Structure 1
Amino acid sequence: MGISGKNAQFLMESRLTSAARGSADACLDLGMAYSCGTGGVAIDFIEAHKWFNLAALGGSEQGQALRAEIAEEMTAREIAEAQRQARAWIATTQSRAA
């Protein structure tokens, strides 16, 4: 039995909230959702790389491995965009915490 749209949206929102609080596991979950198209989101390698990068920065070895794996499927420009988005996420969440 699959996840309903409403439940998938709640799951994604809760993972975003946890990610904003610095949860590497939440970032990893978001990366998985975007890399596989689960949780009601479309497959998006730039978003997936961004979240795997944030998970890796939070100490997740699995995030490091998945970031490297997905990077093999991306162009240098896409990787640069994912890194830019990760830096923007960090800047935004740090400014909210201050």
Structure 2
Amino acid sequence: MHGSTLFTVGTALRRAEDNHLPVEVLVHGQWLRGNVAGLDGHGLILSTHAEHSVIRLDSICAVRIPETMPDAPVAETFDEQHQLAMAAREEDGSFAMPGAAV
């Protein structure tokens, strides 16, 4: 039997929170942007410089997290077996995956 990973809105938000990444969440057709200031099993506190929003997790349809951050030393991605892999930032700003053919 193959192992599987279930990705949820909560998982995406927790990863963004752990990595201090901004997020966008889709709530009732509107994209809201900010940083995760708090997260529990029921809701999200989304923070901007001007305000805080409390959003029920079951109201979030989608989460967007930036693919790359200019100042990030590493990036996370998933390999062909859907396992988390880390990539180091090269001098030119690109990311190189371990074991990847160039």
Please classify the TM superposition score into its range, dividing by the shorter chain length. under 0.3
* Greater helix proportion: 1
Q: TM-score when scaled to structure 2? A: 0.25
Q: TM-score when scaled to structure 1? A: 0.25
Greater radius of gyration (CA): 2
